[in-house]
Structure 1
Amino acid sequence: MELLPSWTKAGSWTLGRDPLGMQATSVRMYRTLVPGLTNVTNRLRYYSFYCWVIQHYEETEHSGDEAKWRIFIRRAEALYALACNIVDPQQSDGLAGGLWAGAFRQALPNDTIDLRPHTDQPGQSGQYLKATRGNFGQFYIASMTEVELLTPSTRIPIVSNQLGRDMASAFAESVGKTTALISNAIRTGTVTPAELAEIGDAAHPSRIPADSKEMAMLRNYLLATNELGGSGSARRSSAWLLLDLLRLGVSAEDETGVRKAFYNRHGPDGSPYRVTGLTIDRWMAFQANELCHIAFEAILNGLLTELQKYPLGLEPNLLITKLLAPLLAKLGTSGRSWRDWSAEIGEEFIGSEEALAEPILSTLRDVKLASNQDGLSSALQLIAALWHRWGGEDTSVRTMIEGYAGRGGRSLSGVLRTLDAQASNTVEDALMQTIRRHLIADHLTIAGRKLAASGTFTYHFTLSDGVVSDGRVTNYAYTNPRIKNLIRFLRDANLYDGSTVTKSGTRFLSENQPV
Structure 2
Amino acid sequence: MAEYAELNKVLDLDKLPDQMALLRWSKELPSASAQDPLGLNLRVSARLAAELLHCITSITPRARYYAFFPWAIEDYAKSEKGKMSDRGLITGVVVRERAMVLGAVLHHKGQACEGGALGGSNKASTIATALPKDDYDLEAWLHLDSPQGQLGAAYQASLVNLGLFETAKAEMNEEVDLETNMLGQNQAEVDLSRLSARGKKLAAAFRESIKNTDYLSNSWSSKSVVDREVLIEFGSKAGLCEINDPLASDRRILTEVFFSCDRENAESAHHTRRMSLLLVLECVRKCEELGVQFSQEVFSELIYLGEVSESGQDGEGFPVKLPEELVDISKRWRVFYFHSNLAMALQSILVSVVRVVRDHEGGIAKSHLLDQYDGKVISARLSDVLDRDFGDDFMAMTPAQTLKAAGWDMEEHPPIHPETIVGAVATGKLNEHQIAEVLLNKNEVNGMGGIGLSALLLFVAVLRYQGQMGSRYDNWYRNHVSDPTSDISLSGLCDWLDNFEGHWWEKSNREVLSSIVWKYIIIQHQRMSYDRGFGGSSALFHLDGTIIVGTGADYTDPRPENARLPSAVQILVDLGLLERDDEKQVAMTSVGLLWLNTQLKKGEGK
Q: TM-score range by the shorter chain?
A: 0.7 to 0.9
| Aligned mate of 1:379, from 454, 457, 465 | 454
Per the TM alignment, residue 156 of structure 1 is displaced from its structure 2 partner at its CA by 6.1
CA contact (8 A) 1:181 1:195 kept: no
Q: Does 1:171 align with 2:206?
A: yes
Distance 1:265 1:43, change over 3 A: same
Letter in 1 for 2:342: C
1:349-375 deviation line (CA, Å, top 9, x unaligned) = 7473222213433598xxxx8642254
Confirm whether residue 273 of structure 1 aligns to residue 320 of structure 2: yes
**Residue 298 (structure 1) aligned with residue 348 (structure 2):** yes
**Structure-1 separation of matches of 2:373 and 2:398:** 19
Paired letter, 1:473? D
Equivalenced residue count is 489
Query: Is residue 2:223 matched to residue 1:188?
Result: yes
User: Equivalent residues in 2 for 1:48-447 (5 A)?
Assistant: 48-63=67-82, 68-88=88-108, 89=112, 91-107=114-130, 109=132, 111-118=134-141, 127-152=142-167, 154=189, 157-178=192-213, 180-181=215-216, 184-208=219-243, 209-210=245-246, 213-228=249-264, 229=266, 230-249=268-287, 254-267=295-308, 269=310, 270-275=317-322, 276-323=326-373, 325=375, 326-328=377-379, 330-331=381-382, 332=391, 333=394, 335-345=396-406, 347=408, 350=429, 352-361=431-440, 371-392=446-467, 394-395=469-470, 398-408=474-484, 409-420=487-498, 421=500, 422-447=504-529
- CA spacing shift, 1:324–1:212, aligned 2, 3 Å: same
Report what 2:12 is aligned to: none
- For residue 271 of structure 1, what is the amino acid of its counterpart? F
Please report the TM-score for the alignment, with normalisation by the length of structure 1. Answer: 0.85
Greater CA drift, 203-212 or 217-226 = 203-212
Distance in 1 of aligned mates of 2:405 and 2:378: 17
Aligned-partner SS, 1:468: strand
What SS does the aligned partner of 1:22 have? coil
Tell me: CA distance 1:73–1:356, structure 2 relative to 1, closer, same or farther (3 Å): same
- Residue 267 of structure 1: CA displacement? 3.8
Identify if the C-alpha distance between structure 1 residues 362 and 321 changes in structure 2 by more than 3 Å, giving closer, same or farther. Answer: farther
Does the 8 Å contact 1:264/1:351 carry over to 2? no
Corresponding residue SS for 1:477: coil
Per-residue deviation, 1:29: 0.8
Change in 2 beyond 3 A, CA 1:465/1:328:
farther
Report the secondary structure of 2:101's partner residue: helix
Which amino acid in structure 1 is aligned with residue 482 of structure 2? G
Structure with the higher helix share, 1 or 2: 1
Asked if 1 retains the 8 angstrom alpha-carbon contact of 2:113 and 2:241, the reply is no
Residue of structure 1 in register with 2:45 after alignment: 26
Is this contact kept in 2: 1:346–1:388, CA < 8 A? no
Determine which of 544, 548, 562 is the counterpart of 1:480: 562
Give per-residue Cα distances to partners, 1:116-162, cap 9 Å, x unaligned.
442xxxxxxxx310011111022222222222212337476213252
Distance 1:157 1:256 in 2: 38
CA apart distance, 1:169: 1.7
How many Å separate the matches in 1 of 2:251 and 2:516? Answer: 52
Q: 1:90 to 1:69 in 2, by over 3 A?
A: closer
Which of the numbers 37, 40, 60 marks the counterpart of 2:56? Answer: 37
Q: Which amino acid aligns with 1:237?
A: M
CA distance in 2, matches of 1:258, 1:459: 33
| Aligned counterparts of 2:253 and 2:225: Cα–Cα separation in 1 | 31
AA aligned to 1:390 is Y
User: Residues 87 and 197 of structure 1 are in contact (CA less than 8 Å); yes or no, is this contact kept in structure 2?
Assistant: yes
- 2:25 corresponds to: none
Residues 328 and 86 (structure 1 numbering): CA distance in 2 closer, same or farther, change over 3 Å? same
Flag the 1:196–1:327 CA change in 2: closer, same or farther, 3 A: same
SS in 1 for 2:434: helix
In 1, the alpha carbon distance for the partners of 2:147 and 2:370 equals 47
In the alignment, structure 1 segments of 5+ residues that lack a partner are 1-12, 119-126
Q: Distance in 2 between matches of 1:106 and 1:93?
A: 18
Note closer, same or farther for the CA distance 1:175–1:141 as it changes in structure 2 (3 Å cut). same
Amino acid at match of 1:405: V
In structure 2, the residue matched to 1:6 is: none
For residues 251-278 of structure 1, the C-alpha deviation after alignment (integer angstroms, 9 at most, x for no partner) is: 8872111211121122465322211522
Taking structure 1 as reference, are residues 477 and 99 closer, same or farther at Cα in structure 2, changes over 3 Å only? farther
Other structure's SS at 1:277 match: helix
Paired with 2:447 and 2:399, the residues of 1 have a C-alpha distance of 23
Q: Secondary structure at the match of 1:463?
A: strand
Aligned mates of 1:108, 1:354 — CA distance in 2: 52
Give the alignment partner of residue 459 of structure 1, picking from 526, 529, 539: 539
Distance 1:465 1:182, change over 3 A: farther
* Offset of residue 338 of structure 1: 1.7
Q: CA deviation at 1:293?
A: 0.9
SS of aligned partner of 1:157: coil
1:511 corresponds in structure 2 to 598
* Aligned-pair CA distance for 1:502: 2.1
1:186 CA displacement: 4.2
Contact 1:259–1:287 (CA under 8 A) maintained in structure 2: yes
Structure 1 residue 36: Cα displacement: 1.1
Structure-2 change in CA distance of 1:483 and 1:349 (3 Å):
farther
